[in-house]
């Protein structure tokens, strides 16, 4: 149970650190947020608990494919915000786009031979 709480605290600390950095240095916070810190930590913890190369390869490959549908959100939101659209509407639209792209990816992944 301690390990689970420790993992949650590390993840929470990373989010808070990014938010605090973003108050003064938004581009630096974006850089830190874009680093695959959560993925790397997740892989380290997964490897520690189950050191299986095939399992890790599937995990790393699936992570790549699941990142792709989320990327357009980071193009849509700045466009909408700069056009004067309120933050919450821009965020909702970005999230809706991401969910739509995830759904499309799930529907089409077998056609491309992906096992996610």
Give per-residue pLDDT as tens, 34-60. 888 888 988 998 999 999 999 999 999
- Condensed to tens digits (0 to 9), the pLDDT of residues 69-96 reads 999 999 999 999 999 999 999 999 999 9
What is the domain count for the chain? 1
- For residue 48, being part of any structural domain is answered with no
Q: Please state whether 52 falls in left (phi above 0), alpha (psi between -120 and 50) or beta.
A: beta
CB 9 within 8 A of CB 20: no
Range of the domain at 101: 54-116
pTM of the entire predicted model: 0.80
- For residue 30, being part of any structural domain is answered with no
């Amino acid at each position: 149970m301690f390990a689970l709480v420790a993992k949650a605290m590390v993840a929470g600390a990373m989010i808070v650190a990014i938010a605090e950095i973003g108050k003064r240095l938004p581009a630096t916070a974006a850089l830190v947020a874009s680093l695959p810190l959560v993925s790397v930590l997740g892989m380290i913890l997964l490897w520690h608990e189950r050191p299986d190369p095939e399992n890790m390869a599937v995990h790393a490959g699936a992570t790549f494919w699941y990142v792709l549908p989320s990327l357009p959100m980071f193009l849509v939101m700045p466009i909408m915000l700069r056009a004067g659209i309120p933050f919450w509407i821009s965020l909702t639209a970005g999230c809706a786009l991401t969910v739509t792209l995830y759904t499309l990816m799930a529907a089409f992944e077998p056609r491309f031979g992906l096992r996610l």
